[in-house]
């Protein structure tokens, strides 16, 4: 009985590891991005248009944010998730260096995995890993602008 329980647990661990990334090297597809590189990018301002409102965000000086900026302008339909974020699966992968931020802040613009762009509109603690791209400069009315469901968002170079 004990042996079959351990076998089931081992199989479950293997399934979880194959469907998610248990290998840290998968999260670090670009080692040129360093976790210490959290300084703002020179000329790293972008505009985020949601309905009639426009927000300014500052991108970080890392390879992920630079690759994202090269994709702009980008108008996308972001999907609601967990009443705290909007996400969109990009057509191509970006370089990553993910880590656990511990706390997600309202206005954080991040990459989950290498293709999922996430814009957070609530502050909360997390156990997930992300690559930080930047953040909205002034979050006043961001939650209201993003609303309760899916939303069309335009990202443009400033």
Q: What is the pTM of this model?
A: 0.78
Does residue 36 lie within any of the structural domains? yes
Taking the C-alpha atoms of residue 128 and residue 26, their distance in angstroms, rounded to an integer, is 14
Does residue 7 lie within any of the structural domains? no
Confidence of residue 1 (pLDDT cuts 50, 70, 90): low
Two tokens, residue 122: 């609530």
- Chain-wide mean pLDDT for the chain? 84
Does residue 56 lie within any of the structural domains? yes
Q: Give tens-digit pLDDT for 43-68.
A: 999 999 999 999 999 999 999 999 99
Does residue 138 lie within any of the structural domains? yes
Taking the C-alpha atoms of residue 107 and residue 142, their distance in angstroms, rounded to an integer, is 7
Does residue 140 lie within any of the structural domains? yes
Q: Which of 33, 43, 99, 51 is nearest to 72 (CA)?
A: 43
Does residue 85 lie within any of the structural domains? yes
CA angle 109, 114, 120 (to 5 degrees): 20
Confidence of residue 38 (pLDDT cuts 50, 70, 90): confident
Does residue 94 lie within any of the structural domains? yes
Does residue 86 lie within any of the structural domains? yes
Domain ranges, residue 104: 26-157
Residue 71 sits in a domain whose CATH number is: 2.40.100.20
DSSP H helical segments within 33-125, as ranges?
Answer: 63-70
Q: Give tens-digit pLDDT for 112-157.
A: 999 999 999 999 999 999 999 999 999 999 999 999 999 999 999 9
How many structural domains comprise the chain? 1
């Amino acid at each position: 009985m004990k042996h079959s329980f351990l076998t089931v647990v081992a199989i479950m661990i293997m399934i979880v590891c194959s469907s998610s990334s248990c290998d840290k090297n998968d999260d670090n597809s670009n080692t040129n991005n360093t976790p210490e590189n959290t300084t703002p990018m020179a000329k790293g301002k972008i505009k985020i248009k949601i309905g009639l409102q426009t927000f300014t965000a500052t991108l970080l000086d890392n390879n992920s944010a630079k690759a994202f900026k090269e994709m702009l302008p980008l108008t996308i339909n972001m999907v609601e998730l967990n009443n705290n974020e909007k996400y969109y699966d990009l057509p191509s992968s970006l370089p990553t260096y993910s880590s656990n931020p511990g706390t997600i802040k309202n206005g954080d613009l991040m990459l989950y995995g290498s293709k999922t762009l996430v814009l957070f509109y609530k502050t909360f603690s997390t156990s997930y890993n992300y690559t930080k791209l930047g953040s909205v400069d002034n979050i006043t009315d961001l939650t209201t602008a993003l609303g309760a469901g899916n939303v069309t968002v335009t990202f443009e170079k400033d």
